[in-house]
């Protein structure tokens, strides 16, 4: 019975993530094309993709390589871009912390924006039971496979991809597809508005610091709004008890 539940959760996770793979493909194609234009071999590109498994960090690193940035700057920038995964990990850990390291370490590597968004839509309810980590695994592996296939397609297709496709425009659209369904309360709306506003305002900051400021600002805004709602709720309860 447990094996059937595990397979079922794995399938449900992969199916839940599948609609987001079309948004990943253009991102991966662009990354593969950029790597090819920099003179990287297919093997080097695949190795970099396996090591990073972060489209935004990999693309930023490739852009910095093209500008002749030092290795220290590239590594530091990639780490800054990926700081959001610390928040993701802290958010999802309560639902997966009971797992042994043989599970948590690979799952940490497989964490992505898409798999996080999909899993946080299902894990908190507890509907998946004690084998909910198979749902995570199914979603994460689906994204992992789609990303690597897309990058390598970009490597081999290269210049044959016409500019009229405007692949770059699909990247923000894919993230909007993740954002909009997650806005379910005043808290998430405040976090989205403040974070989005800061991202736009700080887009010209060096080393993608605007992204970090946006993430932190969104978190702070969400926490503040949540506290205001809690205080208002407590006040209402006190008044009703009088």
Higher pLDDT pick, 172 / 39: 39
Residue 44, pLDDT > 70, answer yes
Better-scored residue on pLDDT, 140 or 91? 140
Quote the pLDDT of residue 169: 54
What is the Cα–Cα distance from 167 to 183, expressed in whole angstroms?
26
The domain ranges of the chain are: 2-165, 183-242
> Distance between CA 22 and CA 140 in Å, rounded?
15
CA 160, chain centre distance (Å): 29
Q: Which range scores top for mean pLDDT: 131-145, 147-161, 185-199, 221-235?
A: 131-145
Say yes or no to pLDDT of 168 above 70: no
How confident is the prediction for the chain on average, in pLDDT?
Answer: 81
Q: What does the alpha-carbon distance between residue 59 and residue 78 come to, in Å, rounded to a whole number? A: 9
Q: Distance between CA 167 and CA 163 in Å, rounded?
A: 8
Half-sphere exposure of 149 (CA within 13 A, CB side): 10
d(CA 64, CA 83): 18
Worst-scoring range by mean pLDDT, 3-17, 110-124, 148-162, 204-218?
A: 204-218
Give the pLDDT confidence of 181-203 residue by residue, as tens digits: 666 677 778 888 888 888 888 87
């Amino acid at each position: 019975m447990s094996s059937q539940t595990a397979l079922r959760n794995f399938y449900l996770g992969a199916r839940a993530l599948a609609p987001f793979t079309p948004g990943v493909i253009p991102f991966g194609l662009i990354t593969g094309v950029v790597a090819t234009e920099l003179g990287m071999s297919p093997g080097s590109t695949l190795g970099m993709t396996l090591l990073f498994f972060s489209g935004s960090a990999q693309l930023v690193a490739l852009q910095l390589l093209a500008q002749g940035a030092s290795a220290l700057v590239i590594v530091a920038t990639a780490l800054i871009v990926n700081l959001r995964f610390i928040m993701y990990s802290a958010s999802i850990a309560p639902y997966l912390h009971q797992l042994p390291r043989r599970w948590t370490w690979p799952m940490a590597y497989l964490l992505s924006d898409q798999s996080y968004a999909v899993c946080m839509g299902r894990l908190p309810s507890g509907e998946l039971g004690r084998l909910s980590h198979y749902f995570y695994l199914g979603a994460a592996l689906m994204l992992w496979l789609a990303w690597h296939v897309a990058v390598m397609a970009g490597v081999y297709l290269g210049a044959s991809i016409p500019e009229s496709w405007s692949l770059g425009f699909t990247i923000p659209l894919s993230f909007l597809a993740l954002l909009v369904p997650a806005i379910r309360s005043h808290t998430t709306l405040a976090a989205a508005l403040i974070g989005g506003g800061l991202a736009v305002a700080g887009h010209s900051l060096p080393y993608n610091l605007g992204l970090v400021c946006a993430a932190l600002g969104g978190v702070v805004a969400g926490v503040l709004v949540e506290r205001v709602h809690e205080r208002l709720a407590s006040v209402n309860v006190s008044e009703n008890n009088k």
